[in-house]
Amino acid sequence: MCKFVGKIFEVVLSVFVVLVLVSIIECKVNEFGDNEVGYVFLGNSHIEHALNDSLISHKTGIKAINYGAGGQSLFWTVACAKKLKRQGVKRFVINYDEISFTTGYKTFDDYSGRRNLKYYKSFLEIDDWLYLFKIDFRFGVKAILTFPFFSKSPLGRFTKRKKDFYNGLTKFNRQSEIDCTDNVLVDFIKKNPDLQFYLIKTPFHESYYKMQKYEHLSSHLRKRQAALSRFENVRIIDFGHYFDGDAMFLDYSHLNSIGALWLSEAVAMELNTPK
């Protein structure tokens, strides 16, 4: 019996050592990045559908890449930023809006959580691991044993969407609100005073702001924007009320291809304007 337990321990230990070595190698490989990248756009589907990186690159004369990924929580967005930091990226345009505080479950759910884990596991720090175990112990255990997807490219890209306007929020955000603090983002900002952060709120449909159940989220966002704007390396870009009517939207919080075109023009001008 003791020999059997010993064998199991040896196998588990061997797997753990291999996973650690792979993560170390991946981190080292990611130290060789594209030095021409000026801006990266990070966040969930709001930024994925909102910012045309090719257009913004052309307008600013600085290479920009959109790594917005549908269903990505703030936790994994920051993990993506840590990966890109190793590649030499200095300027991060991060999706920061009301939904940032309601998608904590997308850190550890079976789809978004596991998918993001494979791309960013190697770049998690001790505090990140402690957070994962705190919010979902089973996911933390699975995370340790998950083999990372060895890649220098993060999840996400700019995606044009054309469809009729839906008068509501996406199905994942209709029923409940799950609190998710922005501590992981604040800690990353504090630890990296040499990096520049642009926290952007993309436009929301006017109907969103008329719904009483979302008023507290908008109020909370304004307070957090004010607090984060005190950091010298943070710039708040708020386009929350930039559009009226249905023509630019897919739903309450996502832009269609027409809205993305107009917003990308405006964001390019904003990035070209000194703080």
The Cα 69–Cα 46 span in angstroms is: 9
- Residue 2 forms part of a structural domain: no
Q: In this predicted structure, what is the pLDDT of residue 275? A: 66
- Residue 28 forms part of a structural domain: no
Q: In this predicted structure, what is the pLDDT of residue 13? A: 56
Q: What is the dihedral of CA 144, 148, 154, 156, to 10 degrees?
A: -80
Q: In this predicted structure, what is the pLDDT of residue 147? A: 83
**Residues contacting residue 105 through CB under 8 Å, at least 6 positions apart:** 73, 178
Q: Is-contact 3 59, C-beta < 8 A?
A: no
Query: Along the 275 residues of the chain, how does pLDDT read in single tens digits?
Result: 666 556 555 555 555 566 666 666 666 667 676 668 899 999 999 999 999 999 999 999 999 999 999 989 999 999 999 999 999 999 999 999 998 888 888 999 888 999 999 999 999 999 999 999 998 999 999 998 888 887 888 999 999 887 777 776 665 554 555 567 899 999 999 999 999 999 999 999 999 998 877 888 899 999 999 999 999 999 999 999 999 889 999 999 999 999 999 999 999 999 987 76
Q: In this predicted structure, what is the pLDDT of residue 151? A: 82
Can you give the pTM of this predicted structure? 0.89
- Residue 5 forms part of a structural domain: no
Q: In this predicted structure, what is the pLDDT of residue 97? A: 95
- Residue 10 forms part of a structural domain: no
- Residue 148 forms part of a structural domain: yes
Alpha helices in the chain (DSSP H): 2-29, 45-48, 53-60, 74-86, 112-120, 126-135, 137-145, 183-191, 206-209, 215-228, 257-272
Q: In this predicted structure, what is the pLDDT of residue 10? A: 57
- Residue 18 forms part of a structural domain: no
Q: In this predicted structure, what is the pLDDT of residue 150? A: 78
- Residue 56 forms part of a structural domain: yes
**What is the CATH number for 195?**
3.40.50.1110
Q: In this predicted structure, what is the pLDDT of residue 248? A: 94
The Cα 250–Cα 205 span in angstroms is: 9
- Print the domain residue range for 201: 37-272
Number of domains in the chain: 1
Closest CA to 14 of 148, 145, 151, 141: 145
- Residue 65 forms part of a structural domain: yes
